[in-house]
């Protein structure tokens, strides 16, 4: 092989190695961006993050909504949906807190509640004055909440699942806690069929509510792509029904 051919081969190998390194770096950066991305809140949710005469909002150590007039005795731990900024639920949680309940929404590892379903342990320990706890969540957050309720029946007094269902290994059918399962009629994955297939995992007296015209993403107020919007009702109307149903389970606990 001539000297020129050797130099050409070495140059080609170096180019190929540089290309491989560049692709690895790109893939790493893309992976970090994907893992850490969270859908940002819409303006109505951002507005609900402001404290007022009824609700005090704080962001440490978690996102908290607490009634101003009277110290709450019932709390609602809410696990956000996958890759959704917890602030995207503020416009739902603020009015619930205004009725006298503490709301706590933790930030999850890489924005996936399934990776820290036991964070409720820390929350419950942090608020010793709360007598009763309801846990809930949206989408994968609801699945993670059911996992926690299954593992900790002595700590949880109620479960509220939004647009979700329990994992096959989470069976709380034998408990006597009230359970709410609420979902949209325009859901793709969480629908009458998928909910029905898992009814055996929840108590017989579980309250099931189907919001006609509601969809998966209107269980919060965060940015989505146009093609993801499937609801045929307004976000405001869907939120009103979610808030009403969630307040009912909280009221049943605190009576």
Question: Tokens 């404290």 appear where?
Answer: 51
Domain residue ranges in the chain: 1-36, 40-254
Closest-CA residue to 115 (of 135, 133, 151, 141):
141
C-alpha–C-alpha distance, residues 242 and 201, integer Å? 22
Instruction: Work out the average pLDDT over 65-90.
Output: 97
Positive or negative torsion for Cα 149, 151, 143, 76:
positive
Q: Which residue has the higher pLDDT, 8 or 131?
A: 131
Q: From 212, 209, 210, select the one nearest 230 (Cα to Cα).
A: 212
* Per-residue confidence (pLDDT) for residue 14, from 0 to 100: 72
Q: What is the pLDDT of residue 143?
A: 98
**DSSP class per residue in 106-134:** PPPGGG-GGG-GGGHHHHHHH-TT--EEE
The torsion angles phi and psi of 218, rounded to 5 degrees, stand at -80, 15
Residue 5 structure tokens: 């051919």
Burial of residue 98 (number of CB atoms within 10 Å: 0-12, 13-18, 19+): middle
Please calculate the CA angle 138-55-95 and round it to the nearest 5 degrees. Answer: 45
Tell me the pLDDT tens digit for each residue of 213-252.
999 999 999 999 999 999 999 999 999 999 999 999 999 9
* Confidence band, pLDDT 50/70/90 cuts, at residue 32: very low
CA 175, CA 112: separation in Å to the nearest integer? 26
Q: What does the alpha-carbon distance between residue 59 and residue 207 come to, in Å, rounded to a whole number?
A: 32
- The architecture that CATH gives domain 40-254 is 3-Layer(aba) Sandwich (3.40)
Range with lowest mean pLDDT among 24-28, 98-102, 136-140, 222-226: 24-28
What is the per-residue pLDDT across 158-178, written as a single tens digit (0 to 9) for each? 999 999 999 999 999 999 999
What's the pLDDT at 33?
Answer: 47
Confidence grade of residue 29 (pLDDT, cut at 50, 70, 90)? very low
Q: Which two tokens stand for residue 241?
A: 């029904």
Of 10-14, 133-137, 175-179, 244-248, the least confident: 10-14
Give CA–CA dist 236/229, Å, rounded: 14
pLDDT top residue among 25 and 108 = 108
Does 30 score more than 70 pLDDT?
Answer: no
pLDDT class of 79 with cuts at 50, 70, 90: very high
Beta strands (DSSP E) in the chain are 55-58, 63-67, 74-79, 102-105, 132-138, 158-162, 179-184, 207-211
- pLDDT tens digits for 191-214? 999 999 999 999 999 999 999 999
Cα 12 from Cα 16, distance rounded (Å)? 6
**pLDDT, tens digit, for every residue of 82-111?**
999 999 999 999 999 999 999 999 999 999
């Amino acid at each position: 092989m001539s000297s020129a051919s050797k130099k050409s081969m070495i140059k080609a190998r170096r180019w190929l190695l540089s290309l491989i390194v560049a692709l690895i770096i790109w893939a790493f950066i893309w992976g970090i961006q994907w893992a850490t991305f969270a859908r940002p809140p819409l303006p109505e949710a951002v507005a609900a993050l402001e404290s007022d005469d009824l609700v005090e909002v704080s962001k440490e150590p978690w996102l908290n909504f607490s009634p101003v007039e009277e110290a709450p005795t019932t709390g609602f731990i809410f696990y956000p949906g996958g890759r959704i900024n917890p602030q995207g639920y503020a416009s739902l949680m603020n009015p619930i807190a205004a009725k006298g309940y503490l709301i706590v929404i933790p930030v999850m590892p890489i924005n996936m509640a399934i990776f820290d379903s036991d964070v409720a342990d820390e929350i419950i320990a942090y608020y010793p004055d709360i007598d009763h706890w309801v846990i809930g969540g949206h989408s994968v957050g609801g699945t993670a909440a059911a996992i926690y309720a299954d593992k900790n029946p002595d700590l949880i007094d109620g479960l509220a699942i939004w647009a979700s269902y329990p994992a096959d290994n989470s069976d709380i059918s034998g408990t006597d806690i009230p359970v709410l399962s609420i979902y949209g009629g325009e859901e793709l994955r969480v629908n009458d069929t998928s909910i029905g297939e898992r009814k055996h995992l929840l108590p017989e007296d579980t309250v099931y509510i189907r919001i006609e015209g509601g969809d998966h993403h209107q269980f919060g107020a965060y940015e989505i792509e146009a093609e993801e919007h499937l609801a045929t009702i307004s976000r405001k109307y869907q939120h009103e029904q979610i808030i009403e149903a969630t307040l009912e389970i909280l009221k049943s606990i605190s009576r």
